[in-house]
Amino acid sequence: MTHLNDQILMACLLEATAAKPGNVHPTASFSDMTYSDLVRSARAVSGILAETGHCGIGPTVLAAVKATASVTSSNTNLGIILLLAPLAAIPNGTSLQEGISDVLERLDSHDTECVYNAIRIARPGGLGTSDEHDVADRPDVSLMIAMESAAHRDAVAAAYHDHFKQVLKWSHTGLAGGESFVTNWEQQVVGLALKIQAECPDTLIARKCGTATAVESSRRAQEVLDSGWPDGHDAGMALLKFDDWLRADQHRRNPGTTADLVTAALFAALREKRIVAPPLDSLPLT
């Protein structure tokens, strides 16, 4: 898999298809979101994101959010778009780690304006207001300054703030890589989601349910890992209990930001050819 569009699409589809605890997947829906919404969204934005290097981060984010809104009424992928756009803008032949700073340092207030417009269109859950650089206002700062101001409350903004250092680390340490990914990709994606949530309390959960609930979700994710997941005797039951707990509050505990970070980590692994993706026709796409 070498074409950028294909890598972006595959990262989105693998994240959407894996039965990650608390998220939408082929056998688990929310009242306002289904697996089909995720698939349509992935197809709508992959080609747009592949052109980020030519079109710029902000305009690409806005175009991708508008494309998503044309195929679903749900906010299926704002965080994914925000995370993948800078990574997709890195020139082919340049490593993500080496290229990301140059991409981010070129961001300006026009990028901020486009991103703010995209956020207003997507209407992410639990957004609230901010005393500084609120998305309801006309921005007068670069996107990096805006992201820095939000980094303490949003893991997507934090990824910009640390130049994707943690995302790239998860991509390297959370996936076994190589040909093995083809045969147990879902297990690896679920494991990556557990690792990320255990280490980083989900900021969507924090915004909607409070910090204490987000920290509790991290503790429970770590419990699943400590059970010996995926091979431990009690690991399967531990995962099911965690999934039930996340879904028990009318999906307000949906670890949506974790899912966004998983997608970015998967894309990084595909972009750097550290994993071999399964055939597209092996996924239960609808």
CATH number at residue 99: 1.10.4200.10
pLDDT < 50 stretches in the chain: 128-131, 133
Grouping H, G, I as helix, E, B as strand and the rest as coil, residue 28 is: strand
pTM: 0.95
Look up residue 164 and give its two tokens.
Answer: 């994707």
What was the pLDDT predicted at 285? 85
What was the pLDDT predicted at 139? 67
In angstroms, the CA 25 to CA 34 distance is 7
For tokens 């693998």, what's the residue?
Answer: 14
Q: How many domains does the chain have?
A: 1
In angstroms, the CA 242 to CA 221 distance is 7
In angstroms, the CA 238 to CA 186 distance is 17
Domain that holds residue 269: 4-282
What was the pLDDT predicted at 126? 53
Q: Report how far apart, in Å, the C-alpha atoms of 98 and of each of 7, 80, 94, 267 are.
A: 19, 21, 7, 16
Grouping H, G, I as helix, E, B as strand and the rest as coil, residue 85 is: helix
The partner residues of 33 in beta bridges, in order of sequence, read 30
Long-range contact pairs involving 196-202 (C-beta distance under 8 Å, separation at least 24): 196/170, 196/258, 196/261, 196/262, 196/265, 197/221, 197/255, 197/258, 198/222, 198/225, 200/155, 200/166, 200/258, 200/261, 202/155, 202/255, 202/256, 202/257, 202/258
Look up residue 43 and give its two tokens.
Answer: 């197809």
What was the pLDDT predicted at 127? 52
